[in-house]
Structure 1
Amino acid sequence: MQFLKLFKRVLRGFTDHQYGENETIYDKYKVKAVLGMGSYGMTYLCENVEEKQLCVVKQMTKSKKKTLIRKQYQTETEILEQLSHPNIPRFYERFTFENNNLFSMEYIEGENLEDLIFSKKKRFNEKESLVLIRDLLHIVSYIHTKGIIHGDLRIPNVMIRNGEPCIIDFGLSEPCSVKNKDSLPMEDFFDLGDLLLFLLYSSYNSTIKKGRPWTEELSIHERTSQLLKNLLGVDESYTYTSDVLHDVNQAIESISN
Structure 2
Amino acid sequence: MDYPLGHGMIWGRTYRIEEFLGMGSYGQAYRCTDLRSGEAVLLKRAKPSKHETGRRLLRREADILQKLNHPQMPKQLDWTVHRREEALVMTYVEGITAEQAILLEARTFTQLEALRIVEALLSPLKHLHEKGYVHRDVRIPNVVMNEKGIYLIDLGLACRIGEENPDGRDDSGQPSGFADSWGAVKFRMRQPDRTSDLYGLGHLFLFLMYAGYTPLEGEKERGWEEELALEPEIRSFVKGLLDSRWQTAAECERVLKQILEHYSSGNNE
Indicate whether the TM-score tops 0.5.
Answer: yes
| 1:17-166 → structure 2 map (5 Å cutoff) | 18-66=4-52, 68-166=53-151
Q: Is the 8 A contact 1:83 1:143 kept in 2?
A: yes
Corresponding residue number in structure 2 for 1:246: 254
- Separation in structure 2 between the aligned mates of residue 54 and residue 183 of structure 1, nearest angstrom: 32
Cα offset, 1:166, TM superposition: 0.4
Paired letter, 2:258: Q
Gaps of 5+ in 2: 166-190
Cα offset, 1:49, TM superposition: 0.5
- Separation in structure 2 between the aligned mates of residue 45 and residue 59 of structure 1, nearest angstrom: 12
Cα offset, 1:51, TM superposition: 1.2
1:47-72 deviation per Cα after TM superposition (whole angstroms, max 9, x unaligned): 00111111011111221242x22321
Q: Is the 8 A contact 2:160 2:192 kept in 1?
A: no
Paired letter, 1:28: T
1:49-103 deviation per Cα after TM superposition (whole angstroms, max 9, x unaligned): 111111011111221242x223212211000111111111111111221211211
Paired letter, 1:169: D
Secondary structure of residue in 2 paired with 1:95: strand
Secondary structure of residue in 2 paired with 1:64: helix
CA gap of 1:65–1:97, structure 2 versus 1, over 3 A, is: closer
Gaps of 5+ in 1: 1-12
Identity %: 29
Residue of structure 2 aligned with 1:220, choices 223, 226, 230: 230
- Separation in structure 1 between the aligned mates of residue 232 and residue 151 of structure 2, nearest angstrom: 28
- Separation in structure 2 between the aligned mates of residue 25 and residue 121 of structure 1, nearest angstrom: 36
Paired letter, 1:167: L
- Separation in structure 2 between the aligned mates of residue 200 and residue 178 of structure 1, nearest angstrom: 33
Paired letter, 1:119: L
Q: Is the 8 A contact 1:221 1:255 kept in 2?
A: no
- Separation in structure 1 between the aligned mates of residue 9 and residue 155 of structure 2, nearest angstrom: 25
- Separation in structure 1 between the aligned mates of residue 62 and residue 209 of structure 2, nearest angstrom: 34
- Separation in structure 1 between the aligned mates of residue 57 and residue 43 of structure 2, nearest angstrom: 16
Paired letter, 1:218: L
Cα offset, 1:197, TM superposition: 0.6
- For the aligned residue pairs, the C-alpha RMSD in angstroms reads 1.9
CA gap of 1:55–1:178, structure 2 versus 1, over 3 A, is: closer
Q: Is the 8 A contact 1:221 1:251 kept in 2?
A: no
Paired letter, 1:33: E
Q: Is the 8 A contact 1:123 1:199 kept in 2?
A: yes
- Number of residue pairs matched? 239
Q: Is the 8 A contact 1:31 1:47 kept in 2?
A: yes
In terms of mean alpha carbon deviation, does 69-78 or 51-60 score higher? 69-78
Paired letter, 2:208: L
Cα offset, 1:237, TM superposition: 2.5
Q: Is the 8 A contact 2:161 2:193 kept in 1?
A: yes
Q: Is the 8 A contact 1:113 1:159 kept in 2?
A: yes
- Separation in structure 2 between the aligned mates of residue 62 and residue 29 of structure 1, nearest angstrom: 19
Secondary structure of residue in 1 paired with 2:79: strand
Corresponding residue number in structure 1 for 2:184: none
Corresponding residue number in structure 2 for 1:184: 193
Secondary structure of residue in 2 paired with 1:18: coil
- Separation in structure 1 between the aligned mates of residue 67 and residue 109 of structure 2, nearest angstrom: 33
